[in-house]
Amino acid sequence: MLSTQFSGNNGGMKEYHYTGPVEHKFSPYAFNGGTVLAVAGEDFAIVASDTRLSEGYSIHSRDSPKCYKLTDTTVIGCSGFHGDCLTLTKIIDARLKMYKHANNKTMTSGAIAAMLSTILYGRRFFPYYVYNIIGGLDEEGRGAVYSFDPVGSYQRDTYKAGGSASAMLQPLLDNQIGFKNMENVQHVPLTKEKAVQLVKDVFISAAERDVYTGDALMICIVTKEGVKEEMVPLRKD
């Protein structure tokens, strides 16, 4: 965390004029950027993330995807502080294994979401600085997306964007997938191909306007056949 002294509280940069003696405190958090997105369809779910890992003005890595495969029917996207993302995914993997050994079945998406909520709330007074979105198939084979806040509040949605460009992407998804804020429009159900194309377009827009999003896009498509990954280049500047 060499560059914490250069970062402000929310990942932006501190100003460069002299304000007097400043006390530097150790902050256990850093903001590593990145955007994740998940869309649920009739029989599929898509979880996508960019692969840029940044801190302040630097890019640590151009190949650090934020989607992690949990089971054959569930993928999680975690953005925020990379250290907490890694630990959280390790803990989730361990809990999944323990559940499998204790109950002889794989955890369903809904169960993983409920478990993650309690894991996050267990750290209510020293939270994991991670914005999670789980995408997968529910017991009936329909697509499900569960979005979390850093302290464990969660909700099942049809689509959700999280991370640094979430405020830019969410209104676009509301309009294109939820058909919100439009009058006299036919509600066409979303096909897998159209959803993938929409996700690519949306991330290209995010990379144009958000400095922490870019380099490449990793799309994980979850269907009953399993999880398929696709990598698409984005702008690298």
Partner 1 sequence: MALQDICCYLDTLLGAPWNSSSSLSLPFGTEHTDLYSTTSDQKNFFSGTPLERCGGSPLRFFLPPPQIRGQFGKASSFLSNSSPTSSAVARPFPLSHGTTTLGFAFQGGVIAAADTRASCAGLIACPAAHKIQPIHSHLVVTTSGSAADCMLWERILAREIRLYQLRHRRKLSVTGAAKLLSLMLHPFKGTDVCVATTLCGWDRETAEGDEGRTQQDPISSSYNGTSSQAVSDLNQIRPKATAVGRTGPKVCYVCSDGLMLNEDLISVGSGSPYAYSVLDDGWRWKMSVDEAVSLAREAVYRATHRDAYSGNNVDLFHITAHGWSRREREDVKEEYYREKERVWYDRLQIKLQFYAEHVLKFED
The contact set with partner 1 (CB under 8 A) reads 9-10, 25-29, 31, 91, 94-95, 98, 102, 117-127, 129, 147, 149-155, 157, 167
Burial of 106 (0-12, 13-18, 19+ CB in 10 A): middle
Nearer to partner 1, 77 or 218 (CB): 77
Residue 16 vs 126, nearer CB to partner 1: 126
Closest to partner 1 by CB, 56 or 196: 56
Taking the complex as a whole, how short is the minimal distance between the CB of residue 232 and partner 1, in angstroms?
Answer: 27
> Between residues 3 and 27, which has the closer beta carbon with respect to partner 1?
27
Strand 74-80: give its sheet, edge to edge: 67-71, 74-80, 130-137, 143-148, 154-157
The CB-of-28 to partner 1 minimum distance in angstroms stands at 6
Report the nearest approach of partner 1 to the CB of residue 117 (Å): 7
CB of 51 to partner 1, least distance (A): 22
Least Å from the CB of residue 148 to partner 1? 9
Tell me if 174 sits within 8 A of 181, measured CB to CB: yes
Nearest to 149 by CA among 170, 133, 167: 133
8 A C-beta contact, residue 61 and residue 235: no
Round to whole Å and give the CA distance between 144 and 159: 9
The residue (of 96 and 234) whose beta carbon lies closer to partner 1 is 96
Task: In the chain, count H helices and then E strands.
Answer: 4, 12
CA–CA distance, 201 with 21 (Å, rounded to integer) = 47
Q: Smallest gap, in angstroms, from Cβ of residue 161 to partner 1?
A: 11
DSSP bridge pairs for 189: none
- Both structure tokens of 121: 């709330």
- At residue 159, φ and ψ (nearest 5 deg) are -160, 150
Q: Smaller CB distance to partner 1: residue 152 or 214?
A: 152
